[in-house]
Amino acid sequence: MPQDRSFKDLKVLPVKELVFYGVNNEESLNDVTDDIHHLCPKDFHQKLESKNKDIVVIDVRNAYESVIGRFSGQIKTGGAKLIDPMMRKSTDFPKWLEKDSTKEDLKNKEVLMYCTGGVRCEKASALLRREMGDSVKGIYQLQGGIEK
């Protein structure tokens, strides 16, 4: 490898998790993933474009990525309502989820979630299920994220 292509200050740090939400008792998140559904893109878009008022969409990407683009179905066809947590970093999600206004927005709804590659959705959906319990009708993720 040529000298100008090397990393001069490369640091590799061990981490306990890829997406850090700053939540204590991480083990309990592993116990709530049984009721979380992964949808292929076709099924995700069908739900996204549904006129059902009991469906909401959460963009789990950071605010910068959310501004760049989102699915057009919910905007053009009056489909599922977008709820944007406006996260700057992953640890903003649990704080947003704790708000009474957020809980009210999600109560008795089917929740669609998407992120870039699917990793953040795994963690966010488990946290959502743990915090909201049966007060949401269902939690659905775009399998593999928008990258797939």
Q: Which residues are catalytic?
A: 115
Alpha-carbon span 37 to 39, nearest angstrom: 6
- Confirm if 126 and 36 have CB atoms less than 8 A apart: yes
- Confirm if 137 and 107 have CB atoms less than 8 A apart: no
Alpha-carbon span 139 to 146, nearest angstrom: 17
β-partners of residue 112 are 57, 140
Alpha-carbon span 87 to 109, nearest angstrom: 21
